[in-house]
Amino acid sequence: EHEAHADPHVWLNPMLAITMARNISDALIAMDKANKDFYLKNFQKLMNDLLAFDESAKNELAGLKNRKFVVYHPAWGYFAEHYDLEQISIERNGKEPKIDEMASTVKMIKDENIKVIFADPNRSQKSAQVLASQTGAKVELLDPLGYNLLENLKIAVRAIKDANSPK
């Protein structure tokens, strides 16, 4: 949904995060050959952790009947694609939605029985709060820029699973 630009949030797909880490490790080794073993050891640990997370996440998300989730900012596209989910964004081209877009989003949230709207703690939550008040959904924060990638991905899996599981 970054229509004007490519989606920069590639690290939210663990396989792409591994590629990024490998490239960083290779660059560090090229600049600092004396510490090659250190960089390789740390890359290997991160890769193994991300691979284990990925397997666990696939298992956790496998049984979801509703695979849609609503976000304010469309940061979770690579994550959604990797786990066969559908990210629905409130924000359009980096801007607050227009009235007609809000109305169609309210209808979709009600029609799809969406119970949670994920807001980005780094951005405005006004539209998410308005949609929640119009639909009965609740707003939860999901940070695409969380400090600890692995923990952040685990939080996202739990949140999306909880939001789409029957209560």
Task: Assign 5 a pLDDT band (cuts: 50, 70, 90).
Answer: low
pLDDT of 3 above 90: no
**For residues 23 and 126, which has the higher predicted lDDT (pLDDT)?**
23
d(CA 23, CA 43): 10
Which residues constitute the domain of residue 150?
1-167
Number of domains present in the structure of the chain: 1
Winning range, highest mean pLDDT, from 43-47, 89-93, 134-138 = 43-47
Give whole-number Cα distances, 79 to 59, 69, 113, in Å. 15, 12, 22
pLDDT of 1 above 60: no
User: Any idea of the CA torsion for 23, 3, 123, 56, to the nearest 10 degrees?
Assistant: -50
What would the 3-class secondary structure string for 130-147 be? HHHHHHCCEEEECCCCCC
Q: Which CATH number fits the domain that encloses residue 151?
A: 3.40.50.1980
d(CA 154, CA 132): 24
pLDDT of 86 above 50: yes
Q: Which residues of 67-87 are buried (b: 16+ CB within 10 A; e: fewer)?
A: ebbbbbbbbbbbbbebbebeb
Using the structure block, give the residue that is written with the tokens 């939605």: 97
Task: Assign 101 a pLDDT band (cuts: 50, 70, 90).
Answer: confident
